C-alpha cells in the first residue's frame, strides 16, 4: 500500500573521588555530559540484506530494531552453542558488531527511557518500571520527537517505550498489534498452574512479576495471531510500495520475553534432553557481598532444577530467540526489496540481557554481565565496513547522538552519550571511557575492556576480570591488591550518583 505524506507532522495515525586530579575530574564530567560530535551510518544486506552504498546519504532513513529480554545467545557473539540466529548473524556481518555493548539499566523502563532520551537514569530519575518518565521529565525531547521535529516521517510497530508510557503524538504512523503473552497449547498442566509443571499458582493480571510469566512451552496457535508476526506483517505492507523519506521506523519485538512460548514447529528444532545448559558454579554465591542478594532469586533456580525444567526452559528460550530471528529476517528481506535498500541506517540492539540460571538467577535486574550485556550492531551506508567488529565498551544511550550525527541533524545538547561514528569508521580505535549501568538508585556497574566493577549503594563491591573470568565466578573485591583498580573505576561514577548511606532500599521490579 502506498504511504503518501498525508499525515501532518505530529499527527497520529493508528493502524490498529579520592585524590582525583582536576584533569581526571574534567575527563569524567566530559564523559557523563558529553555532547555528540560525529556519527556513523548503517547499511543492510538481506538474507542477502541491503547492499552497502558507495556514499553516505545526506539524510538517510533509519530502521531501528529493538529486541526484548535477549541474552547474548547469538551466533555472531559466540553465544549459546545451540542457538539458531542466521538472520541477525548475517545482519551483524554486514556492518559493525559491538561485542562489549551494555544497557544503561537492566530493567525495561529505565533502560528504554535512557535509550530514547539519551540520558542516564540518574539524570532522568527513572529507576523503576512504574516510573512515568513523561511526568518526571516532561520537557525532555525523545529520539522520535527529535526526528519528527526535523522533518522525519516517524513509524512505530511493537514495544518501544515500556508499558503505557508512550508518546502517541510523536508518531506519524502508529501500528498497534497488542501483545498476547499466553497462547493456547497442548502442554499438560494443572488448572491454574503454568504449563511447565512447576508447583506455582498463576498470579498477576498482566503483571510481569506474576508467575504466569515464569512459563515456557510450545503453542499450536496460528502464527498469524502471534504478536511479532502481526507487527512485521504490518510494517512489510507499508514498505511494499515505498514510504515518504526520510523516515525513522521502530520495530520493537515482543519476544524473547517470558513466557517463552514458541510455535511448536520452532520448539521442535531444539532437542530438550540434549540442549546445553548455561555454566553454573555451585559455590558461585559464596564470595558475594550482602547487597548482591537484594537483587537475585536463587529459589527460582532451585525450583526449576528440582522440577526438572531447566533443559526445557533453556530450549524454549532458544526457540523464542530463533522465532524472533525469523521475524527480523522477514522485515530485513522486505527492506532489501524496497526502494529504501541503499539509503537506510539499520540499528539492532536489545533493551538488556537475561539470566537463565547463571549465578543461580532467572530473568534480569542484576549488575552482572548476563543482565548488562546486549547485542548491538550498526550498519551505515558509506560508513561501516562489512564484517567489522569493535571490542570497545559502549552503551545503548550512545545510539541517540550517533543517529543524530549520522543523519546530519543538529546535535541535541541534552544527550549524555557519545557518537559511535569514530568506532564505526575505525573499530580498532580506542575509547577511554567505560560503559556505566545503573540498577535502581545508587547501584552501578562500570565496565571496561578488562574489568567489570560493581558498586552498591551501601558501599559493597564486586570486581571481575573479564579476560580470565568471563563467567564472573571469582570476586576480586576482597583482595587488597586490586584496591587501586577499584578506586580508578569508582572514580568514573559521579559522586552524586552514590548515596551517603544505604538508606535506599531495593524496590519490587
Question: Would you state the pLDDT for residue 30?
Answer: 47
Q: Which tops the pLDDT comparison, 21 or 176?
A: 176
Residue 111 has pLDDT above 60, yes or no: yes
* pLDDT tens-digit map of 304-330: 999 899 999 999 999 999 999 999 999
Residue 19 has pLDDT above 90, yes or no: no
Residue with cell 504466569: 212
Residues recorded for the chain: 509
* pLDDT tens-digit map of 337-350: 998 988 999 999 99
Lowest mean pLDDT among 234-238, 247-251, 472-476: 234-238
Residue pair 111/349 in contact by the 8 Å Cβ criterion: no
Cis amide bond preceding 474, omega within 30: no
pLDDT band at 2 (very low <50, low <70, confident <90, very high): very low
* pLDDT tens-digit map of 29-60: 344 433 222 222 323 333 444 444 446 678 99
Residue 72 has pLDDT above 90, yes or no: yes
> How many other CB atoms are found less than 10 A from the CB of residue 178?
8
User: Which residues are 455's β-sheet partners?
Assistant: 444, 461
* pLDDT tens-digit map of 195-212: 566 766 544 444 444 455
Average pLDDT over residues 9-19: 37
> How many other CB atoms are found less than 10 A from the CB of residue 505?
10
Lowest mean pLDDT among 163-177, 191-205, 212-226, 260-274: 191-205
The dihedral of CA 342, 394, 468, 359: what is its sign?
negative
Picking from 353, 383, 377, the residue whose alpha carbon sits closest to that of residue 90 is 377
Q: What angle separates helix 298-306 from helix 310-336, to the nearest 10 degrees? A: 100
Q: What is the mean pLDDT of the chain?
A: 84
All three cell numbers of 176: 498497534
* pLDDT tens-digit map of 284-303: 999 999 999 999 989 889 98
Residue 478 Ramachandran class (φ > 0 left, ψ -120 to 50 alpha, else beta): alpha
Domain spans of the chain, in order of start: 22-431
By the 10 Å C-beta count (0-12 exposed, 13-18 middle, 19+ buried), 42 is classed as buried
pLDDT band at 405 (very low <50, low <70, confident <90, very high): very high
CA distance 388 to 380: 12
* pLDDT tens-digit map of 420-433: 999 999 999 999 99
167 backbone dihedrals φ, ψ, rounded to 5°: -120, 85
CATH class of 22-431: alpha beta
Task: State the pTM of this model.
Answer: 0.86
CA distance 480 to 242: 61
* Percent of the chain whose pLDDT exceeds 90: 65
* pLDDT tens-digit map of 433-470: 999 999 999 999 999 999 999 999 999 999 999 999 99
CA distance 225 to 233: 11
Amino acid at each position: 500500500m502506498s504511504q503518501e505524506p498525508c499525515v501532518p507532522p505530529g499527527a497520529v495515525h493508528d493502524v490498529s573521588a579520592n585524590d582525583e586530579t582536576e584533569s581526571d575530574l574534567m575527563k569524567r564530567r566530559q564523559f557523563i555530559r558529553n555532547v555528540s560530535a560525529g556519527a556513523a551510518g548503517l547499511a543492510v544486506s538481506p538474507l542477502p540484506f541491503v547492499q552497502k552504498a558507495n556514499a553516505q546519504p545526506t539524510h538517510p532513513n533509519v530502521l531501528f530494531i529493538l529486541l526484548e529480554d535477549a541474552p547474548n545467545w547469538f551466533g555472531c557473539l559466540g553465544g549459546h552453542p545451540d542457538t539458531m540466529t542466521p538472520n541477525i548473524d548475517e545482519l551483524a556481518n554486514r556492518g559493525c558488531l559491538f561485542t562489549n555493548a551494555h544497557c544503561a539499566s537492566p530493567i525495561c523502563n529505565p533502560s528504554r527511557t535512557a535509550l530514547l532520551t539519551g540520558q542516564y537514569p540518574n539524570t532522568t530519575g527513572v529507576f523503576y518500571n512504574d516510573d512515568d518518565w513523561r511526568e518526571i521529565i516532561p520537557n525532555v525531547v525523545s529520539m522520535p520527537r527529535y526526528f519528527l521535529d526535523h522533518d522525519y516521517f516517524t513509524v512505530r510497530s511493537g514495544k518501544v517505550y515500556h508499558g503505557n508510557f508512550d508518546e502517541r503524538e510523536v508518531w506519524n504512523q502508529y501500528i498497534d498489534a497488542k501483545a498476547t503473552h499466553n497462547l493456547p497449547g497442548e502442554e499438560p498442566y494443572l488448572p491454574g498452574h503454568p504449563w511447565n509443571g512447576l508447583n506455582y499458582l498463576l498470579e498477576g493480571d498482566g503483571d510481569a512479576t506474576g508467575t504466569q510469566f515464569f512459563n515456557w512451552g510450545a503453542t499450536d496457535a496460528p502464527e498469524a495471531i502471534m504478536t511479532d508476526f502481526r507487527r512485521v506483517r504490518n510494517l512489510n505492507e507499508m514498505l511494499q510500495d515505498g514510504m515518504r523519506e526520510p523516515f525513522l521506523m521502530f520495530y520493537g519485538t515482543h519476544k524473547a520475553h517470558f513466557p517463552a512460548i514458541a510455535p511448536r514447529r520452532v520448539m521442535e528444532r531444539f532437542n530438550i534432553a540434549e540442549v546445553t545448559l548455561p555454566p553454573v558454579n555451585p559455590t558461585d554465591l559464596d564470595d558475594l557481598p550482602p547487597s548482591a542478594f537484594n537483587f537475585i532469586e536463587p529459589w527460582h533456580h532451585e525450583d526449576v532444577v528440582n522440577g526438572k525444567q531447566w533443559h526445557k526452559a533453556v530450549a524454549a528460550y532458544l526457540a523464542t530467540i530463533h522465532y524472533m530471528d525469523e521475524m527480523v529476517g522477514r522485515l530485513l528481506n522486505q527492506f532489501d526489496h524496497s526502494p529504501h535498500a541503499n539509503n537506510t541506517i539499520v540499528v539492532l540492539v536489545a533493551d538488556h540481557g537475561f539470566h537463565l540460571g547463571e549465578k543461580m538467577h532467572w530473568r534480569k535486574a542484576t549488575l552482572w554481565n548476563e543482565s548488562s550485556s546486549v547485542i548491538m550492531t550498526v550498519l551505515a551506508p558509506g560508513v561501516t565496513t562489512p564484517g567489522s567488529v569493535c571490542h570497545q565498551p559502549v552503551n545503548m544511550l550512545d545510539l541517540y547522538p550517533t543517529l543524530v550525527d549520522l543523519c546530519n541533524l543538529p546535535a541535541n545538547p541534552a544527550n549524555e552519550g557519545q557518537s559511535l561514528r569514530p568506532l564505526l569508521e575505525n573499530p580498532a580505535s580506542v575509547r577511554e571511557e567505560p560503559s556505566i549501568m545503573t540498577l535502581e538508585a545508587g547501584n552501578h556497574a562500570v565496565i571496561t575492556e578488562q574489568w567489570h566493577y560493581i558498586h552498591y549503594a551501601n558501599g559493597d563491591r564486586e570486581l571481575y576480570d573479564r579476560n580470565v573470568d568471563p563467567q564472573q565466578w571469582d570476586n576480586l573485591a576482597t583482595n587488597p591488591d586490586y584496591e587501586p583498580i577499584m578506586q580508578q573505576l569508582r572514580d568514573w561514577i559521579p559522586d552524586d550518583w552514590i548515596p551517603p548511606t544505604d538508606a535506599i532500599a531495593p524496590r519490587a521490579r
